[in-house]
Structure 1
């Protein structure tokens, strides 16, 4: 197996693909050869969809994907939790391009199901160690100066089922608890300035309006930095499953602190424990102690093509290795690719734009000779953090946690082109 030094020309690529059965080339081929394909919609015939009018402009007022993309959906794993109301589904990251995740494909994590909230009756209360406790309605919030930012959001349990070994059969299930959207709203610091935060304040308690009344403690320093109280996602109002009509967006931090259906923020002088904070996320260490408030989602990456759902089905020849990388510390600076399990590395191309705390696309051309491969990606961010091996991560954190598993991931490519999930130390 050899990597290409120069990108192959389009002509040579098409010839090789045609030889492998991937394309029918009409250049130099007769009409009879094309007809032999057995499909009346192929050139030089006029396809059936050109012979009649289609639905009009009001037939589908909101719009929906093509029926031929019906398999591009969120999926869940039935045995993960007892009920769907307190469960998770996964983004089909192997089917997506670019850095924006369509709103209807963003993974969901619920603790009490999705509430149906009338925005006219929804309120955000800010109280505690403030000079002027206030209650805002949605119109109030939309009158404040707004901003839009593109950020990823990731569950800290993303990949967490594989601490002890490869388990999931596809990249949607091994890494699909992540998405990236354009979020629009008002900076939380703007609202805190409106209520007047007192000097003793150090922490916030954010509460959602779901049946679980999900609450999380957040340091005031982060609130004053880049947290957004968001009401729009990808240019439209946030979807119900993603927090309609209001949610916190906490860039780069664990998904659980991005409280959905936001109804209350309490300002205090310390993190909340026991009764008021309903959910604890801690990392159990080898010595029996637990790390708490491990907020940042560290640099991570995964190859999304090829992967178990997208094998190298055309046999030997040209392919483009593609994937995504992200970091809660800032921008992705570099992604390296290995085809031999980490013995040798080559730097991939990062696809513009590259934003801070956002998904970043990477790609690398490969001329595959049909031999087995162990494909890996390794991300580094602009803070200097480098994605660790599974061996290094286990040495530091043990095997007892399900959170913050961001180690280098390995796909085994077989001579058949099939792709398997494996672990290489």
Structure 2
């Protein structure tokens, strides 16, 4: 064991003894020995009137900026969605990050009272306060979170803008503690191979994931984009499970049970049929690779012919994006787009391609390749996986999760942009 490893373990051992992390160790106390919350004066928490009066102390954007999330209560869903067409980089602003699953409105959790438990098949069950967690070694990583139903055929038909076809996702900088660190300190017992994550909201939403994933890159996060999580993003604590289905990234995280089998909860299945025979698979985890041109995109308009920069985003649950190609003629020819460096694993990658529009009709497409060599499929290729004709997806009325064929936008002669997914993908 090297000096760094001995130091890390000594830090955790001393910290656990000081903060009383183990269940049954008595009252949970802060690092200074005071009872949790005694350092916070109740009157310091502003009431609603004071909060709104002093909102400028937090900072507001220019009144000329109007980007908002979509909250249409119609066929494309009720949850607020991210306006990707307004995003200028790979980081989705916290205020514009989609609300992916969970309670609406979100629970109002006092971080001083919140507890996070690791129990089950462990040698030392652990209970953490938020202060306990923030004392431990932290990491900050950039990852996307995407709803399994994002860009589904249903949304392709009814959406009037990119926010409605691809907006059930976002990419952020997350800060917290690696779950693997906590599991190592708890001491996972022989025979354990599943983790059951549970939320503190009224639904007690839970998901089962393999222990192997938990020991890999899962983050117990309390920060998003340099500040505390927002309530609808899981305040004060959430799981970030990089590259996996959005509802596995449990918000308002209250406990993780280490077990030898999954919970087999309703949420562990796909929820809705995604096969032609009406059946759904259990335990769908990784999100497939996907890309979309964000400018020009559905609902936008080019004001004149001439030079324009085609911009878009690509991502993969399997790792880093290695290549993005763009077509302006409906897939007959392709050009390599420039990727914005650095390229992060399981995160948005921004791509760009200079384009001179001649004023004629054009069909824009993008396709990406990830570090494993997987290539984003055409609709015909995707249909072959399920043994159906591409037309099958034209008539689907329900959700169809994990749908990732190449997206097509048609630029008309007047500069307007329509969805050409079902005619050119």
Give the TM-score normalised by the residue count of structure 1: 0.81
> What do the CA deviations read for 1:303-333 (whole angstroms, capped 9, x no partner)?
01001233112x1110011000000111110
SS at match of 1:194: helix
Native 8 Å contact 2:305 2:357 kept in 1: yes
Q: What is the alpha-carbon distance in structure 1 between the residues aligned to residue 174 and residue 416 of structure 2?
A: 37
Native 8 Å contact 1:238 1:244 kept in 2: yes
Structure 1 unaligned spans of 5+: 1-57
Q: What is the alpha-carbon distance in structure 1 between the residues aligned to residue 337 and residue 96 of structure 2?
A: 27
Q: What is the alpha-carbon distance in structure 2 between the residues aligned to residue 385 and residue 359 of structure 1?
A: 16
Q: Which residue number in structure 1 is paired with residue 172 of structure 2?
A: 181
Q: Which residue number in structure 2 is paired with residue 42 of structure 1?
A: none
Q: Which residue number in structure 2 is paired with residue 237 of structure 1?
A: 228
Partner residue of 1:223 out of 209, 214, 226: 214
> What do the CA deviations read for 1:119-168 (whole angstroms, capped 9, x no partner)?
000000111111111211111111111000011111111011448x6431
Q: Which residue number in structure 2 is paired with residue 212 of structure 1?
A: 203
Native 8 Å contact 1:156 1:404 kept in 2: yes
Matched, 1:145 2:169: no
Native 8 Å contact 1:374 1:412 kept in 2: yes
The 1:395/1:412 distance shift into structure 2, 3 A limit, reads: same
Partner residue of 2:293 out of 303, 313, 319: 303
Q: Which residue number in structure 2 is paired with residue 323 of structure 1?
A: 312
Matched, 1:351 2:340: yes
Native 8 Å contact 2:81 2:167 kept in 1: yes
Q: What is the alpha-carbon distance in structure 2 between the residues aligned to residue 284 and residue 360 of structure 1?
A: 28
Task: State the number of aligned residues.
Answer: 359
The 1:135/1:377 distance shift into structure 2, 3 A limit, reads: same
Higher relative contact order (CA 8 A, sep 6+): 1
Q: Which residue number in structure 1 is paired with residue 61 of structure 2?
A: 65
Native 8 Å contact 1:158 1:175 kept in 2: yes
Q: What is the alpha-carbon distance in structure 2 between the residues aligned to residue 337 and residue 293 of structure 1?
A: 33
Q: What is the alpha-carbon distance in structure 1 between the residues aligned to residue 158 and residue 73 of structure 2?
A: 15
> Structure 2 matches for 1:78-89, cutoff 5 A?
78-80=73-75, 87-89=78-80
> What do the CA deviations read for 1:346-377 (whole angstroms, capped 9, x no partner)?
11111112111110000111111100001000
**1:402, distance to aligned residue in structure 2 (A):** 1.4
More helix by share: 2
Matched, 1:415 2:413: yes
> What do the CA deviations read for 1:208-260 (whole angstroms, capped 9, x no partner)?
11111110001100000000000001111111110100000001111110000
**1:111, distance to aligned residue in structure 2 (A):** 3.5
Q: Which residue number in structure 2 is paired with residue 118 of structure 1?
A: 110
Q: What is the alpha-carbon distance in structure 1 between the residues aligned to residue 153 and residue 380 of structure 2?
A: 16
Native 8 Å contact 1:213 1:278 kept in 2: no
Q: What is the alpha-carbon distance in structure 2 between the residues aligned to residue 195 and residue 107 of structure 1?
A: 33
**1:288, distance to aligned residue in structure 2 (A):** 4.3
Q: What is the alpha-carbon distance in structure 1 between the residues aligned to residue 411 and residue 73 of structure 2?
A: 28
Q: What is the alpha-carbon distance in structure 1 between the residues aligned to residue 139 and residue 218 of structure 2?
A: 11
Computed over aligned residues only, the root mean square deviation of the Cα atoms, in angstroms, reads: 1.8
**1:76, distance to aligned residue in structure 2 (A):** 2.2
Higher CA-based Rg: 1
SS at match of 2:128: strand
Q: Which residue number in structure 1 is paired with residue 360 of structure 2?
A: 371
Q: Which residue number in structure 2 is paired with residue 203 of structure 1?
A: 194
Q: What is the alpha-carbon distance in structure 2 between the residues aligned to residue 252 and residue 348 of structure 1?
A: 23
Q: Which residue number in structure 1 is paired with residue 8 of structure 2?
A: none
Matched, 1:257 2:255: no
Matched, 1:75 2:64: no
SS at match of 1:204: strand
Q: What is the alpha-carbon distance in structure 2 between the residues aligned to residue 219 and residue 159 of structure 1?
A: 27
Q: Which residue number in structure 1 is paired with residue 35 of structure 2?
A: none
Q: What is the alpha-carbon distance in structure 2 between the residues aligned to residue 262 and residue 95 of structure 1?
A: 30
Native 8 Å contact 2:315 2:348 kept in 1: yes
